[in-house]
Amino acid sequence: MAEITDDQIDYIISDFAKRGIVLEDLRDNLLDHMCCIIENEMNQNDDFYRFYDTVLPRFFKKNLSEIQTETENLLKFKNFYTMKKTMNITGILTVILLLSGAILKTLHLPGAGITLVAGGFLFSLIFLPLLMAIKFKDDNNLKDKIVFSFGLFLGMILSAGFIFKMMHWPYANMLMLWGTVVFTFCYVPIYFITRIKRPELKFNTIVNSVLMFACGGILFGMINLRNSHLYDQAVSKNHQSINENTNKVIKSNQYLYDLDKSSSYKNLHLITDSIIKQTDKAISIINNEENQDQLKKAQNDLHRICKKYNQEVKIMKSDNLQSIDVAFLERKENILKLLGPSVSQDFLLSIKQQVAVNENVYLVHLL
C-alpha cells in the first residue's frame, strides 16, 4: 500500500486544472477518488506518474473535461427545471386570477380589484421575469436573447399599465402609452430586422411581425379612445346648464331667506349650503383629475352631510322636501371609478340641484 506525498497531490491538482477541472468541489471529489485508488492499488515500487496515467482514463471516455461539462449541466438544469416549474405554476395562477377578476369586475362583485391586481402583478413581476431568465439559458444566440428580453420587459410595462388603468391608479396612461409606442415602433422593427435574414426563421418572423404590428396598432388606437368631440361638447353644455340653473335657484333662495330670517329653517339652510359647497369641491377634483384619495375624502364628507340632511328632512316632516339617495356615496369605491367622469358629475350636480330646489319649494311654501 503506497502513501501519497504532498508534491504528488499538488501534481494531481495541477494536472486536473490543465485538463479543464475548475470547479473546486468537483476537483476535491476527483482528488479524493484518485488518492483512494492510488493508495489501494499502487505498490511501493511502482512509478507514481506512470501509474497515475494508467488510472486517469477510468474517469472519462474522451477527456477529463467531460466531467466538468456534465457537472455544470446538472447544476444548470437543476435550476432550469425549478424555474420552469415555478413559471408554469405562476402562469396557471395568473390565468385563473385574471379571468376571475375580469368576471367579478364585469358583474360588479366584491373582490374584483384585489384579484385583478394579484393576477396582473403575478404575471408582470414573476411569470415574465422567469420567462426572460429561461430564454437566456435556453437560447444560444446573444442577439435573440437581448431582443426577446427587451420584448418581455415591454410586456411587463404594458401589463402593469393595464392593471393601473383598471384600478384607476396614477401613471396608468403614461405606462400604457409609452409601452405601446415603444413596442409598436421600436421593438417590432428590431425583431423583424434581426430575424428576417435567417432563412429558417423568415416565415415565422413575417407572421409574428404582422401580428405584433396589428396588436400594437389596435392598442395604440384604443389608448386615447374617447367620446366624440360633439358628445363631450354636449355633455359639457348640459353640465353648465344644470349648474347655471341651480345657481339661479340658490340666488332665489338667498333672496327669499333675506325676506324672512326665521330660525325655523336655519338648520336646513346651513346643511344645504354645506352640501352645495361639497359637491362643487368634488366636481372640481374630477375636472382637474386630482388625487383619487382627495375625491374619496370629499365623497365621504358629502355622504356624512347628506345623511345629516336626510335626518333634518325627517324631523321637519314636510311633503315638499325629498331625501337624498346616498347609495352611491356609501360604496367603498369612489364615484369616479363606479360611474366614470361624466356620470359622476351628473350625479353630483343632481344632488346640488335637488337640495337647492328643496329649499326653494319649502321657502315659497312658507311665504
DSSP class of 328: G
Q: What is the DSSP letter of 126?
A: I
Residue 68 is assigned to a structural domain of this protein = no
208 and 316 fall within a common domain:
no
Could you tell me if 239 and 362 lie in one domain? yes
Integer Cα distance of 64 and 9 in angstroms: 17
What is the reported pLDDT for 298?
84
98 and 172 belong to one structural domain: yes
C-alpha cell at 227: 367620446
Distance in angstroms (rounded) separating the CA atoms of residues 85 and 79: 10
Say if 67 falls within a structural domain. Answer: no
| Domain-located, residue 71 | no
Question: Structure pTM?
Answer: 0.47
Q: Are residues 82 and 209 in the same domain?
A: yes
Segment 237-282, tens digit of pLDDT: 888 888 888 888 888 888 877 776 655 667 777 888 888 888 888 8
In the chain, which ranges are E strands?
A: none
Band of the pLDDT at 231, cuts 50, 70, 90?
low
| Same domain for 219 and 82 | yes
Q: What is the mean pLDDT of residues 78-92?
A: 78
Same domain membership, residue 216 and residue 233? no
Q: Which residue, of 223, 241, 262, is where some domain finishes?
A: 223
Least Cα distance to 328 among 267, 281, 271, 282 occurs for: 282
Picking from 223, 255, 276, the residue at the C-terminal end of a domain is 223
356 Cβ neighbours under 8 A, 6+ residues apart: 246, 249, 250, 253, 272, 276
* pLDDT given at position 154: 84
Residues 272 and 343 in one domain: yes
What does the pLDDT look like over 309-347, one tens digit per residue?
888 888 877 777 788 887 778 777 777 777 777 888 888
Inside any domain, residue 72? no
Number of separate domains in the chain = 3
- Provide the mean pLDDT of the chain: 78
Which DSSP state fits 62?
A: S
Residue 318 resides in a domain? yes
Distance CA 117, CA 121 (A): 6
DSSP class per residue in 146-203 = HHHHHHHHHHHHHHHHHHHHHTT-TTHHHHHHHHHHHIIIIIHHHHHHHHTTSGGGHH
Residue range(s) defining the domain that contains residue 145: 77-223
Q: Are residues 198 and 292 in the same domain?
A: no
How would residue 132 be classed by pLDDT, with cut points 50, 70 and 90? confident
Indicate whether 103 pLDDT > 60.
yes
Q: Is 173 found in the same domain as 125?
A: yes
115 and 249 assigned to the same domain:
no
CB 71 within 8 A of CB 24: no
Do both 50 and 110 map to the same domain?
Answer: no
Pick from 279, 257, 251: which is nearest to 269 by CA?
Answer: 257
Residue carrying the nine cell digits 486544472: 17
Looking at the domain assignment, is residue 64 inside a domain?
A: no
Last-in-domain residue among 198, 223, 248: 223
Residues 139, 217 within the same domain: yes
